[in-house]
Amino acid sequence: MSERPVVRPLPVSGFPEWLPHVRLVEQRWLDEVRRVFESYGFCPVETPSVERLDVLMAKGETSKEVYALGRAQGVEADRLGLHFDLTVPFARYAAQHFADLVFPFKRYQVQRVWRGERPQDGRYREFTQCDVDVIDVDGMSPHFDAELPRVVHEVLTRLDLPAWTIGVNNRKVLQGFYEGLGVPDPLAVVRVVDKLDKIGADGVAAVLAESLDQARVDAVLALARARSVDEVAALGVTSDLLDEGLAELRFVLDELADLPEVVADFSVARGLDYYTGTVYEGRFTAWPEYGSICSGGRYEDLAGSFIRRRLPGVGMSVGFTRIFAKVLAEGLLETGPASATDVLVVLPKGRRGQARATAAALRAGGANVELYHQEDKVGKQVGYASRRGVPFVWFPPFEDGRAHEVKELATGVQREADPATWSRRA
């Protein structure tokens, strides 16, 4: 027992953990996320943390730095890896359980994901994502393109974050515009524009200039600067695909006109190949370089690698840990005590049974109650409540015939009370 410790208990870089007073707030946030998702009719799904490596790699995601599982003791594990997002597991889930789901299928999924990246600001190796997707069979209503940013808007609003915006664009606008310009490979331009926040407008211009003339480079950058459908129309480029994209985008923006934080942003490209229509990306206003705090878009087919049915959908992912860690690091997280306890019940000498019954009565009324653990002096018991940040101390009668009393530590006010009816909020 008293031997020298053999292992130093150090944090592991990229794997965040919080003290209890911070974890309490994180838990409240996660409750809020879930409440909002359910209030829009999304149902909860969890998948294993682990998928077969062929499932994880089905889209050729070799760059994601997947953590594969092995056995510490040298035995070979099956070819399994930790999921690096919640989209691939959801695609596998939808394909596997296709016959048991009702479409359009609206699901949310709040889980940890793992990426073997180099840890840096806003990048973790283990973090929580909150994903929300709607998928349907063969075709899907544009209604959901507008519903998803509304849901995420409400989530971000409820978390009471520093200012943010959700930029909305449409891949058809980008590709249609580049087509209208006569660009030979519009998708390649999308991928370059997607790097705007990493390499800046000059960097993008330099890359584009390798294959496009100056007028076209200028036009591509002018589109990225536009912040309304009218501004885009004024650029004078036309194509059928552009018109289709602008109509879709206008529908989404009109539906969300009551939300000032949702804005048209033609620099949002979302480089991933599978997006085909609406795309989204949210950022903190004060820290645009911190990266996206939520993102997503519409895809033509979710689970093509796993099932011969076409499942189009639209989804968004909230970077929960990225947001939470930033707010914490900026000193903007309002935390309280390290426990959710409302009341400490004092244990009077020789009256353990009565104190236990008092605690039970208070719990039955919905309070979180700690019963003090030994017959210490009352001052010591109250001091414990104070150190722990417990707001109320309850005194069961120290002799028969006396009344219960409760003291609020913040104000010092002490009064008679009945454990059967007391409430912290009364």
Return the residues of window 250-269 that contact a copy of itself according to CB under 8 A. Answer: 255
- Smallest gap from Cβ 334 to a copy of itself, in A, equals 17
Q: Is 20 in the site for a copy of itself (CB under 8 A)?
A: yes
With residue 131 as reference, give the H or E element that holds it.
strand 126-135
Query: Which residues contact residue 33 at a Cβ distance below 8 angstroms, ignoring those fewer than 6 apart?
Result: 110, 130, 155, 159, 318, 320
Q: Is 97 in the site for a copy of itself (CB under 8 A)?
A: yes
Query: Out of 158, 205, 244, 305, which residue is the one contacting a copy of itself (CB under 8 A)?
Result: 305
- Smallest gap from Cβ 281 to a copy of itself, in A, equals 24
CB 135 within 8 A of CB 118: no
| Interacting positions 160-219 with a copy of itself (CB under 8 A) | none
| Interacting positions 320-359 with a copy of itself (CB under 8 A) | 338-341, 344, 352, 356
What distances in angstroms separate CA 1 from CA 6, 7, 9, 10, one per listed residue?
Answer: 12, 14, 17, 21
Query: Out of 120, 202, 374, 377, which residue is the one contacting a copy of itself (CB under 8 A)?
Result: 374
Of the two residues 276 and 414, which places its CB atom closer to a copy of itself in the complex? Answer: 276
Q: Is 283 in the site for a copy of itself (CB under 8 A)?
A: no
Query: Out of 96, 211, 354, 414, which residue is the one contacting a copy of itself (CB under 8 A)?
Result: 96
Q: Is 99 in the site for a copy of itself (CB under 8 A)?
A: no
| Interacting positions 23-42 with a copy of itself (CB under 8 A) | 23-24, 26-27, 38-42
Extract long-range pairs of 352-356: CB within 8 Å, 24+ residues apart. Answer: 354/396, 354/397, 355/396
# residues near a copy of itself by CB under 8 A: 107
Of the two residues 69 and 206, which places its CB atom closer to a copy of itself in the complex? Answer: 69
Query: Out of 29, 33, 56, 319, which residue is the one contacting a copy of itself (CB under 8 A)?
Result: 56
Of the two residues 307 and 409, which places its CB atom closer to a copy of itself in the complex? Answer: 307
Query: Out of 33, 45, 183, 314, which residue is the one contacting a copy of itself (CB under 8 A)?
Result: 45
Beta-carbon-side half-sphere exposure of residue 130 (alpha carbons within 13 Å):
27
First to last CA, the chain: 48
Q: Is 18 in the site for a copy of itself (CB under 8 A)?
A: yes
Query: Out of 228, 238, 368, 423, which residue is the one contacting a copy of itself (CB under 8 A)?
Result: 368
Of the two residues 47 and 414, which places its CB atom closer to a copy of itself in the complex? Answer: 47
What distances in angstroms separate CA 187 from CA 127, 210, 275, 301, one per listed residue?
Answer: 31, 15, 11, 18
> What burial letters (b/e) apply to 183-195, b meaning 16+ CB within 10 Å?
beebeebbebbbe
Query: Out of 156, 229, 303, 346, which residue is the one contacting a copy of itself (CB under 8 A)?
Result: 303
| Interacting positions 378-397 with a copy of itself (CB under 8 A) | 387-388, 390
| Interacting positions 65-84 with a copy of itself (CB under 8 A) | 65-73, 75, 77-78, 80-82
What would the DSSP string read from start to end of 216-253?
Answer: HHHHHHHHHH--SHHHHHTT----HHHHHHHHHHHHHH
> What burial letters (b/e) apply to 381-404, b meaning 16+ CB within 10 Å?
bbebbeeeebbbbbbbeeeeeeeb
CB 163 within 8 A of CB 286: yes
Judged by CB under 8 A, the stretch of 103-111, 216-224, 241-249, 284-292 that binds a copy of itself is 103-111
Of the two residues 190 and 256, which places its CB atom closer to a copy of itself in the complex? Answer: 256
**Main-chain phi, psi angles of 381, to 5 degrees:** -65, -45
- Tokens standing for residue 290: 């911190």
Bridge pairing between strands 343-345 and 369-371: parallel
